[in-house]
């Protein structure tokens, strides 16, 4: 990672996901306690769901807005401004003593952390198409590492100094990130989109995605994949504790292992994998590998638990390592240069929506049978494989048509 710009972008996304990971073991307890003390006519468990959900909701709403604005005014001001918004959100978290302030802190942090689309667009600006999968893989590695280190850091900070240390500590990292970005991220956009657009128009790009067959299928594949994966994420800790009697610490190790494996694959191996199989086959291979990883999680007896979970984690790491950069890169390659930020923003926005839907579906299925979320997620990934096969067939057909036209001319 010799390019300082890539290092800074990696750190930016790492802080976004680290901040999310830090609050995972803390926020449900704190928000419920504050809700009970607030005097609001609001069920405490509902309050927990609102506080946890508002972060993803803001990412859903603001990812396309930040992406579209970055096409218009440049990547640098959007990235810098969003980092500051995130820092303010965590400062508010540190001083939260009521449920309302806590809720607003998570809302603001979600708005700031929706900057991933602008960061991806920056990468697309400075990276040739053949290198994008590798560098998009670094984004995936930042996701994994943030999830690995976030929960234990959050627990340690909360034990040492309560919510104030959690909020102020994360805000300090955001300010360090802002300083890095200020000095190492020059503007990357050479041709700005001067077309006048309202804020609402940031979402109208979905109509264009709907009309363009390749982008539409890529978006659908991405939504199904993330919804299926989030069904596992939200439910695995419950499954492991209730049916395999793991402690909270052991559950943390399990998620940490997933994060480490994903980071290794996406940060270190994805370039080699792309050279060997190509982007299209990465997507094709990734779907069934993730399907196997998700489906086998609830199957083993106590005796075979460790062995089967290791196999599941390895499958998920390899499958995720293939799917995430492949989908992002194929979307980028099939998007005009002046619309990179907007389209990638819409991709991130629909990703957040998928992560909101998956947990709700998972909870409903789990109440009917503890295996259902995982088997259903595996079946969804096999549906994705069929969609991916159809998409690859269309991509190859279009490539042959272009080659035929070139030869004719």
If you average pLDDT over residues 106-130, what whole number do you get? 84
Q: Is 300 exposed, middle or buried (0-12, 13-18, 19+ CB in 10 A)?
A: middle
In a domain, 56, yes or no: yes
Mean pLDDT of all residues in 246-267: 70
In a shared domain, residues 108 and 257: no
Same domain membership, residue 178 and residue 126: yes
List the domain range (segments joined by +) for residue 341.
205-399
| 42-51: long-range pairs with CB below 8 Å, 24+ | 47/99, 50/103, 51/27, 51/99, 51/102, 51/103, 51/106
223 with 301, same domain: the answer is yes
For 41-99, the pLDDT digits (tens) are 777 666 766 777 788 778 888 877 888 888 888 889 999 999 999 999 999 999 999 99
79 and 125, same domain (yes or no):
yes
Is 358 within 8 Å of 234 (Cβ atoms)?
Answer: yes
Secondary structure (3-state) at 66: helix
Asked if residue 383 is part of any domain, the answer here is yes
Between CA 39 and CA 334 the distance in angstroms is 52
d(CA 271, CA 281): 14
What is the spatial distance between Cα 171 and Cα 158, in angstroms, rounded to a whole number? 14
* Cα angle 61, 93, 43; round to 5: 75
Tell me: pLDDT of 400 over 70. Answer: no
Query: Tell me, what's the pLDDT at 16?
Result: 80
141 and 267 in a single domain? The answer is no
- The answer to whether residue 20 sits within a structural domain is yes
Are 143 and 95 contained in the same domain?
yes
| % residues pLDDT > 90 (the chain) | 23
Residues 248 and 387 in one domain: yes
Q: What confidence score (pLDDT) does residue 251 get?
A: 67
Confidence of residue 125 (pLDDT cuts 50, 70, 90): confident
Separation CA 96–CA 84 (nearest Å): 18
For the ranges 144-158, 205-219, 314-328, 373-387, the maximum mean pLDDT occurs at 373-387
**Residue 1 binned pLDDT confidence (cut-offs 50, 70, 90):** very low
Instruction: Report pLDDT for 53.
Output: 72
* Greater pLDDT, 342 or 112: 112
Residues 181 and 218 in one domain: no
Q: Which of 187, 214, 236 is the last residue of a domain?
A: 187
At 327-378, the pLDDT tens digits run: 888 888 878 776 776 777 678 778 878 877 777 777 778 778 889 989 999 9
Looking at the 3D structure of the chain, how many domains does it have? 2
The C-alpha atoms of residue 10 and residue 312 are separated, in whole angstroms, by 27
Average pLDDT, the chain: 80
270-320 residue pLDDT tens = 777 778 888 888 899 999 999 999 999 998 888 888 899 889 988 988 888
Does residue 224 sit in the same domain as residue 131?
Answer: no
- Provide mean pLDDT across the span 236-261: 73
| Ramachandran area for residue 39 (φ above 0: left; ψ -120 to 50: alpha; else beta) | left
> Which single residue is written with the structure tokens 């893989």?
137
Residue 233 belongs to a domain with what CATH number?
A: 1.20.1250.20
- Asked which of 130, 161, 187 is the last residue of a domain, the reply is 187
The segment with the largest mean pLDDT, out of 68-82, 125-139, 183-197, is: 68-82
| 239 and 169 both lie in a single domain | no
């Amino acid at each position: 990672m010799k390019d300082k710009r890539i290092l800074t972008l990696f750190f930016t996304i790492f802080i976004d996901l680290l901040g999310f990971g830090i609050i995972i073991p803390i926020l449900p307890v704190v928000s419920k306690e504050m809700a009970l003390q607030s005097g609001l006519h609001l069920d405490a468990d509902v309050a927990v769901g609102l506080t946890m959900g508002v972060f993803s909701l803001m990412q859903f709403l603001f990812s396309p807005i930040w992406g579209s604005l970055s096409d218009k005014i440049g990547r640098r001001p959007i990235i810098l401004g969003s980092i500051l918004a995130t820092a303010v959100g965590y400062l508010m978290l540190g001083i939260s003593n009521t449920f309302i302030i806590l809720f607003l802190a998570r809302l603001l942090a979600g708005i700031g952390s929706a900057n991933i689309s602008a960061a991806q667009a920056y990468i697309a600006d400075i990276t040739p198409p053949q290198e994008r999968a590798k560098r998009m893989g670094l984004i995936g590695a930042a996701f994994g590492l943030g999830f690995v280190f976030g929960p234990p850091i959050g627990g340690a900070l909360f034990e040492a100094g309560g919510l104030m240390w959690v909020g102020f500590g994360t805000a300090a990292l955001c300010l360090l990130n802002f300083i890095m970005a200020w000095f190492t991220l020059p503007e990357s956009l050479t041709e700005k989109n001067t077309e006048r657009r309202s804020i609402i128009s940031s979402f109208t790009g979905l109509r264009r995605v709907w009309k363009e067959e390749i982008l539409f299928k890529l978006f659908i594949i991405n939504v199904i994949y993330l919804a299926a994966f989030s069904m596992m994420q939200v439910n695995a800790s419950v499954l492991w504790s209730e049916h395999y009697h793991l402690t909270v610490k052991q559950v943390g190790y399990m998620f940490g292992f997933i994060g480490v494996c994903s980071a290794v694959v996406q940060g270190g191996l994805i370039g080699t994998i792309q050279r060997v199989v190509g982007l299209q086959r990465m997507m094709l291979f990734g779907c069934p590998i993730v399907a196997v990883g998700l489906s086998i999680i609830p199957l083993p007896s106590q005796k075979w638990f460790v062995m089967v979970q290791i196999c599941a984690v390895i499958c998920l790491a390899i499958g995720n390592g293939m799917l995430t950069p492949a989908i992002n890169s194929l979307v980028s390659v099939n998007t005009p240069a002046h619309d990179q930020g907007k389209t990638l923003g819409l991709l991130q926005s629909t990703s957040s929506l998928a992560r909101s839907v998956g947990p709700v579906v998972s909870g409903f299925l789990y109440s009917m049978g503890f295996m259902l979320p995982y088997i259903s997620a595996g079946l969804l990934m096999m549906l994705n494989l069929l969609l991916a096969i159809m998409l690859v067939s269309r991509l190859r057909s279009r490539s042959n048509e272009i080659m035929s036209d070139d030869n004719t001319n």
